[in-house]
Amino acid sequence: MYRENSNAFLRSIIPLASKWATLYLDPPAFNQPPIHQVLEENMPILRKVWCRGDGTFVAKPFGRPTPRLKELRLHDMSVYWSFVELKDLSALVLVGSRTPSISHLLAILQRSPQLELLELRDSKADATDALSAAPSIILPHLKDLTLSNINQQAISSILRSIHAQRFSTFVIDPHTIRSDPDSPFPDLNPDLEHLVPAMHCAIAGGKAFDLSIGFNSLAIVVKRDTNKPSFKFSANLNRPPHLQSHFLWLQNNIEFNAGYASGIREVSVSFGSGTNVESSVHFQILEWIPNITELNTWTYNGVSELIHYLTERIYHGNKVEWRCPRLRRVRFSGYPTALEDVLEFARRRYGDRPKGDVSDEKGEITIHWPETLEYMDVEGVEDMNSETVEELREITGCAEIVGFYGDSEPASPEEWYDEGYDYSDEDSLGSMDLHDIFAFVG
C-alpha cells in the first residue's frame, strides 16, 4: 500500500476505534504519521493488542482507559510506560522492547491475578527502583514464564515476588556478562527455591529438557511441543568450585524419575568454551544424566581424563559395562586434543566390540558393549591425517568422521578462543547458563 493510501486508510478507521476488540500493527504501519493518534484513541472494549515494530518506534499508547484489555504483546517497540495503567491482564509479552520499571511491572502483576503468560525477552529492564523487600504476588493461573536476556537484578526481583503453583513453560536466562574470575558468582538459586515445586510440574510434563551452566548463570529449558524427546546439558564454566556449587543445587532440586528418563531418546552433553575437563564434577554430571547419546567437548587442555573415564570398564558381579553405553556421537573440538587420546578412546571402547549383538558372553562373564559410534568430529585433534581417519573408521565402525581438512593447518588457540566466538552447543534447544537461568520452553 502506498504511503498516501496508508495514511488515508488509518485516518478513515480512527473514528471506529471505540468498536475495536483486537488491534494488530506490523512495521509498515509505524511509518505512518497517524499511528500515534491511533494508539491514543479511546478503545473501551479493546481486549487484545499485538504490535510488532521496527526496533525504533516509541509510543504513548492507550491515552485513555482500556478496562477490558487482557493481552498485550509488544515486539521490537517501546512505550512511555508512565502513561500506561494496566490491570487484569491474562498475557503480557515484551520482546525487544523496553519494559516498565521493576516497581511498575510488579504493580501490574499485582493487579493481574488471572495472569497466565509472562514473557520478557531481549529487553531493557530498569531495576534501579526495585524494592529491597519483595512483595508477595500470588499468580495461581501463571503457567508460562519466560525471563530471557534481561538483567539479573530484574529477574531476581520478579522471581522473589511471584508465587505460582505449576509451570508448563519456565525460562530463566539472564543477560550474560563475563565477570572477573575472582568476583563473586551471581546466585539466583535462593530466588528460585519457592518455585521448585512449580518447576517440577514443567519437568514432569516436558518432552525436551535443556540445562546449561555458563559463565555466570544457570539455564533450564523444558519443552512440551516436540515429537522428539531429548535432554541437553552444557557446561561452559572453567571454575570447578562454582560448577560444583551449581551442580549440587541441581541434584538437590531437580529430580528425574525413571519414567521420564526412559522416555528420552536423545541426550546431549557439552563441555564448552574452554572448559577444563579435569574435575570430578564433570564426571558426576555424566553419571547424573541418564542415557547420554551425544558428547561434545571444546576444551583447551585436552581430554585425557575424560577419555580415561569413558574407556573404564564397570564391573557388576559377572556383568561388564561401559560408562555412557548409549553414546553414539562425539565431538573432540577443543584445541589441542591429543591424537593418541582419541585413538585410545577408539581402541579401548570399540576395538574388541563384536559386529552383532551388544552383549557378549565369555565364560561366566557377560559383556555389555557400548552402542556403535555413528558420528565423530575430530576438528580439535592434533596431528590428524587421512591414515588416522581411516584407522579410526576401521576401529569404531563409524562412517561419519568429520573435522579433518587434509593438510591444512589446524586452528590456533587464539583462533579458537580469543575472537569471542560462542562455543555453546549450536544444535541445542537454546543457549543456557547455569546458576542464574532456568528455561522451560513450552
Residue 95 banded pLDDT, cuts 50, 70, 90: very high
Q: DSSP for 170-200, please give it.
A: EEEEPPP----TTSPPP--HHHHGGGHHHHH
Residue 345 banded pLDDT, cuts 50, 70, 90: very high
Mean pLDDT of the chain: 75
CA dist 237 and 216 (Å) reads 8
- How long a stretch of residues is the chain? 442
3-state helix, strand, coil in the chain (%, to 5): 30, 25, 50
CA dist 430 and 30 (Å) reads 31
Rounded mean pLDDT of 155-165?
91
For residue range 267-320, what is the model confidence (pLDDT) as tens digits?
A: 788 776 555 655 677 788 888 776 788 988 876 666 788 888 889 888 888 888
Element (H, E) at 348: helix 339-350
Strands 144-148, 91-95: pairing is: unpaired
Closest by CA to 252, choosing from 342, 189, 163, is 189
CB 25 within 8 A of CB 35: yes
Q: Mean pLDDT lowest for which of 25-29, 204-208, 437-441?
A: 437-441
Backbone angles phi, psi at 329, to 5 degrees: -135, 130
For residue range 123-146, what is the model confidence (pLDDT) as tens digits?
A: 877 777 776 667 899 999 999 888
Closest by CA to 69, choosing from 106, 20, 105, is 20
Single pTM value for the model: 0.71
CA dist 24 and 51 (Å) reads 6
Q: DSSP letter at 240?
A: H
Q: Is 337 helix (H, G, I), strand (E, B) or coil?
A: strand
Please say if the pLDDT value at position 336 is more than 90: no
Closest by CA to 213, choosing from 296, 156, 269, 291, is 269
Kindly give, in sequence order, each residue whose CB lies less than 8 Å from that of residue 387, ignoring residues fewer than 6 positions away.
Answer: none
The 8 Å CB, 24+ separation contacts for 239-245 are: 239/181, 239/185, 240/276, 240/279, 240/281, 242/185, 242/435, 243/213, 243/279, 243/281, 243/282, 243/434, 244/279, 244/281, 245/185, 245/435
CA dist 217 and 249 (Å) reads 13
For residue range 70-91, what is the model confidence (pLDDT) as tens digits?
A: 999 999 888 888 777 889 999 9
Q: Is 60 helix (H, G, I), strand (E, B) or coil?
A: coil
- Which residue is listed with cell 530463566? 172
pLDDT of residue 107: 92
CA dist 434 and 213 (Å) reads 3
